[in-house]
Amino acid sequence: MQRCPQAKGLESIEPLVRSVEETPDPIPTTITGTIPSWINGSFLRNGPGKFEFGKDRYTHWFDGMAMMHRFHICEGNVTYSSRFLRSDSYISNSEKNRIVVSEFGTLAMPDPCKNIFARFFSRFQVPKATDNASVNFVKYKGDYYVSTETNYMRRVDPQSLETKEKVDWSQYIAVNSATAHPHYDREGATYNMGNSYGKSGFFYNVIRVPPPGEKATEDSADLDGAKVICSIRAAEPRKPSYFHSFVMSENYIVFIEQPIKLDLLKFMLYRIQGKSFHKVMTWDPQYETIFHLVDRHTGKQSEVKYRAAPMFTLHQINAFEEDGFLVMDMCCGDDGEVIGDFTLENLRRGPGEEMDKFYNSLCRNLPRRYVLPLTVDEQTPLDQNLVTLHKYTATAKKTKPREVGVYMTHEELHDDELLQYGGLEFPQINYNQYNGRPYRYFYSCGFGHVFADSLLKMDVHTKELKVWRYPGLYPSEPVFVASPKATEEDDGVVLSVIVTPREEKSTFLLVLDAKTFTELGRAEVPVTIPFGTHGVFNEMG
């Protein structure tokens, strides 16, 4: 087990989880260096931005109200605007000036105006899912939505950041939720995964939303044609796995059933006991990790059961097929206890010993490569390494004669050098050109603190790193934008929003040359932005 060094003397990041005001009208920024004039579009970011209503406070970082940010880049100039998502949750909470809608880690308390019997019985109603979509910006049929992990999304205007209608997945297809990390194919279709549960069990469903057709004239959400192309039965119907994303290559989708379990009985009880949702997720390493392989075109699930040691993964890097193998790269950890730890109390710990103790208790996530053999059948010999591509050290062995089972071990997709940056997360690639294809580079955040404190570029061929890191600066997930005449994979720029707890209103958009990983320019904006989640670049014609 490789260990990242223990941290000592970490600074407080409390200012990065404070509520802020919105900036609905675009304001100018101050440019230093140069922003390449070919960048034409908007960098859209999402994340929590309000952590209390009246006297009520949220418990968990994920609970904060969604705030959308837009850096509009045109001809070397940049403007900034932001808006709170006008979700039903935000509006109800604002009107009552208290927390009315339950979130991931915060249970809304019964209305104090109700009598004791009404309050007691309100405990027995299953809470309505929230539409506080603070995780990502996603695209379906050419429209932008903001998304979290419930059955609700919100359509938004990527120019004005105006909130449009609420969309309920379960009105279109038989799922109760969908992830905030869909994949897109080259024809413009969107793929996602969502849960469903009923009398016949618990299922993980692969969803396909077709490409945009002829655009209807009315301005409204359109998920028509959305279909479940494959339903994967949960190995443990009462303890299904939590998942945040999934794998997609040119021809396959892989769903990773990991040992972070949702306890459905607890889920039913949690409302009655007044416990919040993050308490129903448990890390259960007695279960192995199962990889379910699905043909993306036919929706047919492979008979082969691919397994590996217990691990958890939130974010995929990339996956591609090569000579009868599927190579899958992802950020992984060996201890899935962490998701519930991101309470605001923990994030607001004082500097030094308090913060060090919390950071050192967290698991470091590291990039791994699994290589899955695609041509396994009854004739495949037992107990020998099936990964015959010599450049990979990952292994796969057939373990059971009758039911076809394959046990996989991973290759570490990094050298020891990465450990000093605290492992990495929030990986991004040149998605438009290289997703699902052999690739060489990914960009990510290094975690030398509880929040990212460096930007990294990894060469997966040589495992060499390029690094951007300055004390007191905390970068967001890096997003790659290809230059218009790009011929190489890393021809372009990397965008990241940099925040600091050290002084107020000193946020900037950083533009790095993707090839050299050096700064081209920055756009300073006189606002405070809290640490956020994910973002996208919306190209303008």
Please give the annotated binding residues for Fe cation, written as ranges. 181, 244, 315, 534
Please provide the size of the chain in residues. 541
Residue found under tokens 């932005």? 529
394 close to 373: Cβ distance less than 8 angstroms = no
Structure tokens, 271: 């409302």
Q: How, if at all, do strands 183-184 and 190-198 pair? A: antiparallel
Task: Count the neighbouring beta carbons within 10 Å of the beta carbon of residue 484.
Answer: 10
Strand, helix or coil for residue 332: strand
331 close to 315: Cβ distance less than 8 angstroms = yes
3-state secondary structure 117-158: HHHHHHCCCCCCCCCCCCCEEEEECCEEEEECCCCEEEEECC
Distance CA 456, CA 469 (A): 9
Structure tokens, 173: 């297809």
Structure tokens, 422: 């605290």
Residue ranges of the annotated binding site are 181, 244, 315, 534
DSSP E strands: which ranges in 258-360?
Answer: 260-262, 281-283, 289-295, 305-308, 312-322, 325-333
Distance CA 135, CA 20 (A): 17
